[in-house]
Amino acid sequence: AAAQIGNSFRNEISPRSGLIRVREFTMCEIEHFCDPQEKNHPKFENVADTVMTLYSACNQMDGKSAQPVRIGDAVASGLVANQTLGYFMARIQQFLHRIGILPERLRFRQHMGNEMAHYACDCWDAECLTSYGWIECVGCADRSAYDLTQHTQATGVKLVAEKKLPAPKTIEVTEVVPNKAAIGKAFKKEAKGITDALAKLSLDDVSEIGKNLETNGEHTLVINGADVKLSGELIAVKKTTKTVHVEEITPSVIEPSFGIGRIMYSLLEHSFRMRDGDEQRSYFSLPPVVAPLKCSVLPLSNNAEFAPFVKKISSALTSVDVSHKVDDSSGSIGRRYARTDEIAIPYGITIDFDTLKEPHTVTLRERDSMKQVRIALDEVAQTIRDLATGRTSWTQIEEKYPRFEQQESSAK
């Protein structure tokens, strides 16, 4: 397989809809190569029970809605062409769910016959529901062997893979053998073009040359629009047998293709929230794994005694590779919480007057629920790292540490 990320361009006459329709955009693609005759995937059983919302071409034609289907059943029934395509569709769904795309606003729509590429075996688009309607964010296509076949025809370089045979077999090989010395003497500078053209001939072409040499004693080869007559002294068709242990196959390509701008737009729409009873307090509920900043460090006030603890916590977070923001600006702690919520920071560490006491503790706040726990200062950095990487959950943290109800605003 191969993966790449880069800019793509489209002749968009009228760019519009924010990040949805633009002339230049970032794409990520995976090119997964597989045997065209056996498109099973060794890890498909790991995702076979994944339930996906599939909007098949038949349902679109009949005016029906999308249906929840196990991907294993979809492949078994032929709705999804093969296991490898089904595997990548399931993994795309897992990825989109993990970064925060809402399950109820995600579906996979199958391309209809009039929109599918002529060489494709099957193609599904992961579509997200936004204020602009359903938009395509990820495409997943079985492009058959079209790409490698076209490259081979254009360059003359065979792009094939070797597949080990269960047992050796004897095959008959028919090939054109050029007399390079005689061709070079007869055609001079054009000789290389002739030998290159002979090397690209298909089995049918070789068979036709053999018949022409037997009946006419020569064969006319068309090179760059010009006829070149080759006699039996210049070329010969030979048949041999050989034992082979592998066979050459031109792999099919399964291609998941991600539009990063559209995914990001959908994610921002899906994660936008407003606090109950206070529409002025809005925030982005980005999962910690994709939030740019994982936590904020907030001293309760400008008390100089808090400064060493802020510095110590910031250094500890840096040492475990946790991105964070220190907000020691003026303003109430509630207002600073709201500011960090607006930029999707999932966790907040607050240094208060209880932090000054032995043993040193801080409060840890979760953005979405606004609940807080009291945690030892020496444990907080690793805890944030575990939360940000998904090794632990906020529910587990609440079970492990005592709940904290209210911040103090002044010393007792």
User: CA 314, CA 305: separation in Å to the nearest integer?
Assistant: 16
Q: Do domains 2-148+251-265 and 162-248 have the same CATH topology?
A: no
| Residues 145, 229 contacting (CB under 8 angstroms) | no
Give 10-residue mean pLDDT values along the chain (412 residues): 92 84 92 93 96 96 96 97 97 97 97 88 96 96 91 85 87 84 85 84 83 85 82 85 86 95 96 90 95 96 94 97 94 93 96 95 96 96 96 96 71 38
Q: Which DSSP helix (H) or strand (E) runs through 112? A: none
Task: Reduce the DSSP state of residue 181 to 3 states and report it.
Answer: helix
In the CATH scheme, what is the code of domain 2-148+251-265?
A: 3.30.930.10
26-27-32 Cα angle (round to 5): 165
Check residue 408 and give its pLDDT: 43
Which CATH fold would you assign to the domain 286-400? Answer: Rossmann fold (3.40.50)
User: CA 12, CA 25: separation in Å to the nearest integer?
Assistant: 11
Task: Reduce the DSSP state of residue 93 to 3 states and report it.
Answer: helix
| Residues 306, 351 contacting (CB under 8 angstroms) | yes
Which stretches does DSSP call E strand in 260-356?
Answer: 272-275, 278-284, 295-299, 324-326, 347-351
Those residues with Cβ within 8 angstroms of residue 77's Cβ, 6 or more apart along the chain or in another chain: none
Task: Reduce the DSSP state of residue 259 to 3 states and report it.
Answer: strand
Backbone angles phi, psi at 338, to 5 degrees: -60, -40
Q: Which two tokens stand for residue 192?
A: 């290389």
Token look-up 């220190």 returns 326
Check residue 368 and give its pLDDT: 95
> Which region, left, alpha or beta, applies to residue 225 given φ > 0 means left and ψ of -120 to 50 means alpha?
left
Per-domain residue ranges for the chain?
2-148+251-265, 162-248, 286-400
**Would you list the DSSP string of 201-224?**
--HHHHHHHHHHHHHHSEEEEEET
In the CATH scheme, what is the code of domain 162-248?
A: 3.30.720.200
95-101-104 Cα angle (round to 5): 115
Mean pLDDT over all residues of the chain? 91
